[in-house]
Structure 1
């Protein structure tokens, strides 16, 4: 009696069953990250590169006075350089070294300045309140940071 043929059939059937079982098990679902809105960068590094006087206010009625104070800050200017990836180098809240940031805007919405890998309006971003090439006013989105630093006023220093 030749047992090799039934054993071979049984082994083939077992291998086929194992293969089919592997195909039938669904892979564990991976979390799908929602697509981030594409943003433009309306303020370029070349537009903000340079030396700036810096001051801040907490009350809107202090904005004009703070702008005058920022002009006096040119004695010890805040320097914005172009970053290695085309953004610009600014200090984030509580950081002792500058980080590369970009301006971010979706459609005609508000303009923000923040890290390029975060969506526009991220908690660590600053909203651009005003920018005309000579004055840049930024408001922190994080309420705790805004409470400590206020609204930042940058005034371009004379060449």
Structure 2
């Protein structure tokens, strides 16, 4: 009996040691998320909030004429409001409700307007072709959307 108690104690101590060793080992490493480039917002929400005339063109030679048409659009302006998280509200392609977007740029690269949780240049983004505070020209990144909507010209309403 003495031997069986000794074997039982040894088995208990071995089990306890194994459990404690498992507790002492470090947790498995977490998968590392790929680093996203930090982007800046060179165009602020305050710079684009307001009422805009809107028109679009498909051929570059129509840009000047389209800008004049956009001025006429101030009779029924496209309104850009502040977003709840510091961005601004604009419609994405084929969406009936506006979404909060931001301007984003990496380094000295192109400026885009799009969803804040997507990298600059994402398919749902628009590239800023021109912005001077009074005129904003945006080109859709998705070729299919660009084919339908063209290059968007926004002219600030008086």
Residue in 2 that maps onto 1:155: 155
TM-score (norm 1): 0.91
Residue in 1 that maps onto 2:14: 13
Q: Give the total of aligned pairs.
A: 157
Give the match's secondary structure for 1:129.
Answer: strand
Q: How does 1:100-139 map to 2 (within 5 A)?
A: 100-139=100-139
1:25 and 1:35, CA in 2 relative to 1: closer, same or farther beyond 3 A?
closer
Cα distance in 1 for partners of 2:70, 2:154 equals 6
Give the match's secondary structure for 1:82.
Answer: coil
1:25 and 1:108, CA in 2 relative to 1: closer, same or farther beyond 3 A?
closer
Q: How does 1:34-53 map to 2 (within 5 A)?
A: 34-53=34-53
Cα distance in 1 for partners of 2:123, 2:20 equals 49
Cα distance in 2 for partners of 1:32, 1:144 equals 34
Residue in 2 that maps onto 1:80: 80
Give the match's secondary structure for 2:51.
Answer: strand
Deviations 1:91-150 (A, max 9, x none): 001110111100001111100000111111111100000000000000000111111111
Which segments of 5 or more consecutive residues in structure 2 lack a partner in the other structure?
A: none
Which segments of 5 or more consecutive residues in structure 1 lack a partner in the other structure?
A: none
Cα distance in 2 for partners of 1:122, 1:143 equals 12
Deviations 1:47-82 (A, max 9, x none): 111100000011111111110110110111000011
Per-residue deviation at 1:5? 2.2
Per-residue deviation at 1:25? 10
TM-score (norm 2): 0.91
